[in-house]
Amino acid sequence: MSASTITLSEVEPKAAELLAFPQRPEDRLRIALHKLDEALRAQARATSDFRTAMGELKSKVGGMQTGMMAYRDALDRTATEIDRAVNKAKELQETARRMVPHS
């Protein structure tokens, strides 16, 4: 028999096998509860993964905050050193002005 002459009755058992639906309400309930259980487990895994990611994010943000505070402190120290250097330069300029006679 060629593929073009297959009758519907030959295909029906396979279709029925693929589309089998539980006939008894208890079976449908059991399958529905099983699917719900799978969905709840997947949700629990996703929630756990989310919490893990949030913990990692908190740690990274904390590290960034620490780094930014250190950077700010370094900038403050640099600004203080620059102010000190500017004041010293002004003192030296005044000393040089007094030492060099004006014509």
Helix (H, G, I), strand (E, B), or coil: what is residue 87? Answer: helix
pTM for the full predicted model: 0.52
Per-residue pLDDT, averaged over 2-30, amounts to: 64
Decide if pLDDT at 48 tops 50. Answer: yes
Q: Find out whether 64 and 55 touch, Cβ atoms under 8 Å.
A: no
Supply the mean pLDDT for the chain: 86
> Six-digit token pair at 45?
């895994």
